[in-house]
A and B are shown apart, each in its own frame.
Chain A
Amino acid sequence: MHQDQRPPSRKRLVRLCLNGRWREDAVPDHLLLVNYLRETVGLTGTKTGCDGGECGACMVLVDSVPMPACITLAVRCEGRSIETIEGLSSGGSLHRLQRAFHEQLGTQCGFCTPGMIMSAAALLRRNARPTDGEIREALAGNLCRCTGYVKIVESVRAAVDDAP
């Protein structure tokens, strides 16, 4: 990491809605959303898999749109709704995508899984019955080193079929 000699940048108050609850934190201008989530808030479900916006392990939803949190500035989330993997389950029961990834073996080491599920969640929200092609397109920015992707697509498909 490059060591910068300049004084740290100023902090400002950022108000955002995280997994359905509004909160306010003083954050420096240069703070990345992934570090805000993991260090400031302590939600470590969002992963860091690369150093350059390439892998999708850090995917979160910003106003329902997937975005790599590692190339998003926290201060740019002022007034927005941020959703992470921790926000998907409710009342102790898993979201149907989480259940499907578990049951269909869509997860192996698990490192890509939170990002995969967030991208898939955004897809299902705007398109309740996606084709396999649409599922692949929506997950195009999420890399997985373990599964070979087949089981991941099958998991999303199973979650689609499991829709209430």
Chain B
Amino acid sequence: MTAAAGAFRVVEPADVAAATAAHAGEPGSRYLGGGTDLLVNLRRGLGTPALLIDLRGIAELDGLACMAGGARIGAGVTLARIAADPEFRARYPALCEAAAAVAGPAHRNVATVAGNLCLDTRCIYYNQSEWWRGANAYCLKYRGDVCHVAPQGRHCHAAFCGDLAPALLVLGASIEVAGRAGRRRMPLAELYRDDGLAHLTLAADELLVAAELPADPPPSAYAKLRVRGSVDFPLAGVAVALRAEEGRLSILRVALTGTNSRPFLLDGTDNLLGRPLDATVLRHLDRLVQKQVHPMRTTLLQSNYRRVAAAALARHLAARLAATPEAAR
């Protein structure tokens, strides 16, 4: 028999207030989107919540709107829906390319935007069966007291591997969050911190309501390194947004996933503005990426390969975008 996912109850609140109230009544409970990450982890014994709060019936989380003033993406919108939306594909291509590159087609039919943004961090010593982890004395991230990747330290280096976050970061996304204490907005970057054990800054009872994007985005693109072209998490994922005026860079934003415990916007790209995207600038960009990614041995692939590949992806995407007519104006 397939391992059960634990012995939790499931509730289906009708609105956001009822969802956060359900959480208050059962503090260890977890929000459930498509379940394509959470149910896998629960099946492997990673967590034993008593209650799952199914967000699928909440109409407010299901809106997807591209308006003159910007776009609003409900937390519960599925990746298949966003990948296929013609307006989003035209305006925010990096987001749609990233959504289309998540998992397999069946997963994308139920996987949600919020589930992707709140994806647990990953490591070869963590994403394993209970039996496997038990035989290996568990690890710091769950039930153990040593990190097998960096045994000297007391830090977990599990990598954040969601594909959507870097795309939303270069597009300037902010998020709306709701909890018992009320609602708040913040830049998407503030959702994350570089800690494999606790990579989200949300309070336990807080849930994502929506992501918002500014209008008039620069041209953008997303690419990821993976072992198989079909179903695989990014070993390094890169999003770039770029604009050039009279041949000189006026916007250059690069964001990465799969290499650190949080997705992040590359620092220092502003210093390259005002220059043409030539070989020298690409070399600088390469160096910036290689300096700021910190891939550890959390995957079967060598860390240094992931570092070099992340930089190469950034260069390729930037060069490709700069060559498109949309990038110039």
Contacts known (A2-B48, A52-B44, A56-B104); A140 close to B6, Cβ less than 8 A:
no
Question: B39 on the interface (CB 8 Å rule)?
Answer: yes
Chain A 40-60 interface mask (CB, 8 Å, partner B; 1/0): 000000001001111010010
Question: A119 on the interface (CB 8 Å rule)?
Answer: yes
Q: Could you tell me which residues of chain B, from 98 to 122, have a CB within 8 Å of some CB in chain A?
A: 103-107, 109-110
- A51's partner among B8, B10, B129, B231 (CB-CB below 8 A) is B129
Whether B45 contacts A1 by the Cβ 8 Å rule is: yes
Q: Total A-B pairs in contact (CB under 8 Å)?
A: 111
Whether B1 contacts A35 by the Cβ 8 Å rule is: yes
Q: Which of B10, B35, B45, B48 has the most CB of A within 10 A?
A: B10
Q: Could you tell me which residues of chain B, from 237 to 268, have a CB within 8 Å of some CB in chain A?
A: none
- A30's partner among B8, B56, B109, B129 (CB-CB below 8 A) is B8
Q: Could you tell me which residues of chain B, from 126 to 182, have a CB within 8 Å of some CB in chain A?
A: 127, 129-131
Whether B109 contacts A67 by the Cβ 8 Å rule is: yes
| Chain A: minimal CB distance from B115 (Å) | 12
Which residues of chain A have C-beta atoms less than 8 A from B50's C-beta? 6
Which residues of chain A have C-beta atoms less than 8 A from B8's C-beta? 9, 29-30
Which residues of chain B have C-beta atoms less than 8 A from A38's C-beta? 1-2
Chain A 63-91 interface mask (CB, 8 Å, partner B; 1/0): 00111101111011000000000000000
Interface residue tally for chain A (C-beta within 8 Å):
41
Q: Which A residue's beta carbon lies closest to that of B10?
A: A29
Which residues of chain A have C-beta atoms less than 8 A from B56's C-beta? 76
Question: B90 on the interface (CB 8 Å rule)?
Answer: no
Secondary structure at the B interface, as helix, strand, loop or mixed, is loop
Q: Could you tell me which residues of chain A, from 119 to 156, have a CB within 8 Å of some CB in chain B?
A: 119, 137-138, 140-143
- A72's partner among B3, B35, B130, B131 (CB-CB below 8 A) is B35
Complex: how many Å from CA A32 to CA B8?
A: 12
- A53's partner among B3, B6, B40, B230 (CB-CB below 8 A) is B40
- B43's partner among A28, A39, A52 (CB-CB below 8 A) is A52
Chain B: residues with CB nearer than 8 A to chain A?
1-10, 35-36, 39-40, 43-45, 48, 50, 52, 54, 56, 103-107, 109-110, 127, 129-131, 230-231
Q: A2-B3, A119-B105, A141-B106 are in contact. List 8 more A-B contacts (CB 8 A).
A: A32-B2, A53-B107, A56-B104, A70-B43, A71-B35, A71-B40, A140-B105, A140-B230
Chain A: residues with CB nearer than 8 A to chain B?
1-2, 4, 6-10, 28-32, 34-35, 38-39, 48, 51-54, 56, 59, 65-68, 70-73, 75-76, 119, 137-138, 140-143
